[in-house]
Structure 1
């Protein structure tokens, strides 16, 4: 079986595109792919992020504001919600930053919530 040089070149380009311009991970045995934000594809990237975070059940920080700081007066339920929000925020920020080209990251805030970062983008 022989492969033409054009076919081989096309296959190599496709593999490089998948490796460089997508972030793929497994959620509940389902593959989720986020296309890397290159600048002109924000709508698709945002949909990918929202879908992936919803599938992973960590979208809390994208859809709600940051809860207030914990005090001794907080109930156990409030502490659980706070912990869930903090975990969600870490995962969302990591996923968002990992799926943005480096040259675009330089103008983005570094000390913010996932919801604030999405608004800034």
Structure 2
């Protein structure tokens, strides 16, 4: 076969790849209120593997105009897709009893940061309560 691929052209081509978001996100532990650190790690890993984590680390780029370059338009589209999918994945991985207590936003970074802030405050209160019990 002399290195020919399935098309007989002698060069390697990328094979089509089916990506099942359900399979990827099934490894994210549902946020129940007591497992924030684990949930946060799961979200960061999965969004990183799916190349969606730009929505968590970058602010929304400026909306393209007719004068915007192809690269600027592509960056905006990539961020928008990452933002939408990240929000869906995060919301899907949060217990229904908790989702109502989280701010309504269409920005994945803000949503993620709001959850982190809520649990940061909660962890401080828990640590303070534990210290009071120990003293």
Normalising by structure 1, we get a TM-score of 0.72
In structure 1, the residue matched to 2:81 is: 87
Between 104-113 and 81-90, the greater mean CA deviation after superposition:
104-113
Counterpart contact for 1:24–1:32, Cα < 8 Å: yes
- With a CA cutoff of 8 Å and minimum separation of 6, indicate the structure with the bigger relative contact order: 1
- Show the counterpart of 2:71: 77
Match of 2:96 among 95, 102, 105: 102
Distance 2:22 2:63 in 1: 34
Deviation sequence 1:89-121 (CA, Å, 0-9, x none) = 011000000000011110212223111001110
SS in 2 for 1:90: helix
TM alignment of 1:1-121, pairs within 5 A: 25-26=23-24, 33-121=27-115
SS at match of 1:34: coil
- What whole-Å deviation, never above 9, does each CA across 1:66-106 have from its counterpart, x for those lacking one? 11222112110000000000000011000000000011110
2: distance between equivalents of 1:46 and 1:85? 20
Q: Distance in 2 between matches of 1:25 and 1:115?
A: 23
Which runs of 5 or more structure 2 residues have no equivalent in the other structure? 1-20, 116-135
Instruction: Work out the number of aligned pairs and report it.
Output: 95
Structure with the higher fraction of residues in strand conformation? 1
Q: Compare CA radii of gyration and give the structure with the larger one.
A: 2
Consecutive unaligned residues in structure 1, runs of 5 or more: 1-22
How much does 1:32 deviate? 6.1
Task: Report the Cα distance in structure 2 between the residues aligned to 1:115 and 1:88, rounded to whole angstroms.
Answer: 10
